[in-house]
Structure 1
């Protein structure tokens, strides 16, 4: 009897693991990110209660079956370098916001836009070519190997809808 119970228990654990892997394969970048817009910024945050920039990218890639470290400079060590003109949805984009080194990361989602967790705003879309801030601080981009993202890159390109409400020009003015 003990062997039967143990066998059933092990089979259940294996099935749960296979289910998680299957879920990652069937989850798209858009599905993961769409669920996170508006999550507040939280220093060292790694959950839907609040994200910092690298906690956000780590959370998204974990949902896609890729393990990344929780640090933007460390994430820059992964993947293959990508020229700005060759960016594809899912590429990590890196910035120097502290004047010394890579200190911010986001995920390119297409149409010149990236999604990230920004201090004071939380998870939002921002134009990569923003002439006042982000464009000047862009350092580079990396493509991370993921079956989910590779399958997406092989499908015909469709236009990505930018959530206009999250763009800076459509944000309510602070008083």
Structure 2
């Protein structure tokens, strides 16, 4: 029950923060992330039963037909570098939380926020502007092509295939 309440609360927060006019609202990407919100943190986890950070991004991208490796440093080697001011929904954002290079990853959701599997709070939405993340931000990568972005951020598709 706690998971459903947390997911519902965070989902409402997403709707209010990104607005219904956003390309991200009510899309396949949004629906996939929304269903994972509130999931517990589990080291090595790759399902809604529990995720670690790269397991969460693997899960989200697998639902849109893109295969990612299960390690944030390996994910950082993929895609095209993107400036923070150029971020769009679906870009991966990377952080150095261990002091040893890229060690955390999340999915940018728009409006300066990203979804990720926090080791202390499970799958949540955080602000890139939070001091903790500002101090640890490494960079961002665009994994999706423009065509794939249009496909997964369109709000006119059928969501029945998203689990």
What's the TM-score once normalised by structure 2's chain length? Answer: 0.74
Highest Rg: 1 or 2?
1
Question: What whole-Å deviation, never above 9, does each CA across 1:119-153 have from its counterpart, x for those lacking one?
Answer: 0200000000102x011100000001254424457
What does the per-residue CA deviation read over 1:32-55, in whole Å, with 9 as the maximum and x for residues that have no partner? 001011000000101111000000
2:143 matched to 1:144?
A: yes
Which segment is superposed worse, 144-153 or 40-49? Answer: 144-153
Q: Which runs of 5+ in 2 are unaligned?
A: 1-26, 155-163
Higher relative contact order (CA 8 A, sep 6+): 2
Superposition pairs of residues 79-90 of structure 1, within 5 angstroms: 79-90=79-90
- 2: CA distance, partners of 1:141 / 1:60: 16
- Judge conservation of contact 2:64–2:152 (CA < 8 Å) in 1: no
Contact 2:113 2:128 in 1 (8 A): yes
How much is the aligned-residue C-alpha RMSD, in angstroms? 1.7
* Residue segments in structure 1 that go unaligned for 5+ positions in a row: 1-26, 156-175
Identify the residue that residue 119 of structure 2 maps to in structure 1: 119
Q: Deviation per CA, 1:78-118, whole angstroms, max 9, x where unpaired?
A: 10100000000000000000111100000000000000000
Aligned length: 128
8 Å contact kept, 2:90–2:144? no
Whole-Å separation in 1 of the counterparts to 2:70 and 2:141: 16
